[in-house]
């Protein structure tokens, strides 16, 4: 399962990570988010130890969604060394996300 990332844990989990980080910005009411969610969970298992994979519920945690200009969900951001290095807006196939992580490993 992907990590649940909150505004309180975002800096520690995402920005200070020494590994690439995939962050899925989502909401419970969002249909495409529900399609992406199991993909993100699979990626979390497959990349355990190689990358950090987490989810931010934008309804409960708005600070970093706003900071990174997340206006449409699902939005997946890839971070490396505390910086956004890649982005995917809208639902996409699993390979789209894994390719983005692989390019940062």
Q: Which residues are annotated as catalytic?
A: 30, 33
CA distance 103 to 7: 27
Q: What is the CA radius of gyration of the chain?
A: 12
CA distance 92 to 102: 16
């Amino acid at each position: 399962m992907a990590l649940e990332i909150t505004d309180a844990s975002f800096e520690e989990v995402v920005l200070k990570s020494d590994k690439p980080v995939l962050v899925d910005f989502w909401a419970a009411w969002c249909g495409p988010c529900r399609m992406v969610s199991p993909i993100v969970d699979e990626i979390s298992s497959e990349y355990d130890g190689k990358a950090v994979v987490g989810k931010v519920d934008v309804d409960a945690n708005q600070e970093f969604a706003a900071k990174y200009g997340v206006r449409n969900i699902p939005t997946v951001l890839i971070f490396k060394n505390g910086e956004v290095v890649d982005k995917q807006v809208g639902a996409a196939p699993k390979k789209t996300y894994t390719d983005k992580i692989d390019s940062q490993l």
